[in-house]
């Protein structure tokens, strides 16, 4: 599987992790595939989840803001239902959460 992060780069994910952001993957890909992708890139995840389980992720982690970055209307639907702000991949490439830190 190719990395699904483009235009959000792996380096951006590493940097955000270092600044204290809670980082995870949330996809419709099997959990084992998501884990293997991040392990191959040597990126430590706080969580790995299916996208319809975002509500459980929100309940498990206390944060000031919650973002879900995606590339489909379905991603946005699950994010909004779970109380996350939804960012399209292209918008996330500018790292808007940096201004909030």
Residues in Cβ contact with 87 at an 8 Å cutoff, skipping those fewer than 6 apart? 67, 68, 69, 70, 96
Which residues does the chain have with pLDDT short of 70?
1-6, 96-101
Mean model confidence pLDDT for the chain:
86
CA distance 26 to 69: 9
* Closest CA relative to residue 1, chosen from 34, 42, 23: 34
CA distance 35 to 46: 11
How confident is the model over 28-44, as pLDDT tens digits? 999 999 999 889 999 89
């Amino acid at each position: 599987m190719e990395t699904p992060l483009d235009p959000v780069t792996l380096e951006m994910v590493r940097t955000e992790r270092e600044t204290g952001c809670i980082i995870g993957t949330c996809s419709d890909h099997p959990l084992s595939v998501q884990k293997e992708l991040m392990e191959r890139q040597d990126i430590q995840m706080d969580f790995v989840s299916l996208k319809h389980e975002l509500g459980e992720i929100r309940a498990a982690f206390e944060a000031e803001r919650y973002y879900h970055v995606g590339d489909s209307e379905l991603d946005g639907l699950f994010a909004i239902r779970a109380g996350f702000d939804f960012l399209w991949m292209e918008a996330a490439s500018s790292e808007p959460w940096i201004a909030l830190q």
